[in-house]
Amino acid sequence: MAAEKKHVCPVAFAGSLDIGIRRWLHDPRKMLGPHIKEGMTVLDVGCGPGFFTVELARMVGPSGRVIAADLQAGMLQKLKHKIQGSELQERITLHQCAPNRLGVTAEVDFILAFYMVHEIPDQEGFFAELRSILKPGGRIFIVEPPLHTSWKAFESSIKKSRDAGLMAVERPKRFLDKAVILQRA
């Protein structure tokens, strides 16, 4: 059966992903700091205009790398403008995904999927692909929004991740959002 078509956050909404209140609501250092070490390779999947990518690149330091992957060239273009001419440019690789395949082949220590899993039609295939590039001991941090994702849909995503060979190791508490950390089972 063909996977259900999902709504994808349009590039025209990119500005709303960079508004100031997010620094407080979704403080990247507070949320991701405990998981990120210098020198890591991190995948920010569905990076949008790079709200988290930029801070992740600072956290991994000069010896680390962030792969910023998105379906939409327009989102990647916004991120490109943001980092152009800065020292972070060297640490960030922009990658455009195909609709049903991420196509990232590098092995990664950490994956962030923030507010994007509900936009994926074939979630089991998506999780299988993430699992295939996750280093042993690596972690996948998923955060889903309050309005677009019901608890039922969130639990269903976790089940699909289990079917793809991942296991939930932590359920971080987040104001309004739903979050889970996955590792290879």
| Chain contacts with ligand SAM (rule: CB under 6 A) | 8-9, 17, 45-48, 51, 69-72, 75, 97, 99, 114-116, 119-120
| Least distance (Å) between residue 97 CB and ligand SAM | 4
The CA-atom distances, in angstroms, between 118 and each of 46, 51, 75, 107, 178 are: 11, 18, 18, 24, 12
| Least distance (Å) between residue 139 CB and ligand SAM | 17
| Closest to ligand SAM by CB, 137 or 140 | 140
| Least distance (Å) between residue 120 CB and ligand SAM | 5
| Closest to ligand SAM by CB, 46 or 138 | 46
| Closest to ligand SAM by CB, 15 or 39 | 15
Burial class (CB in 10 A: 0-12, 13-18, 19+), 15: exposed
| Least distance (Å) between residue 77 CB and ligand SAM | 12
Closest CA to 53 of 38, 37, 70, 39: 70
HEC secondary structure over 105-118: CCCEEEEEEECCHH
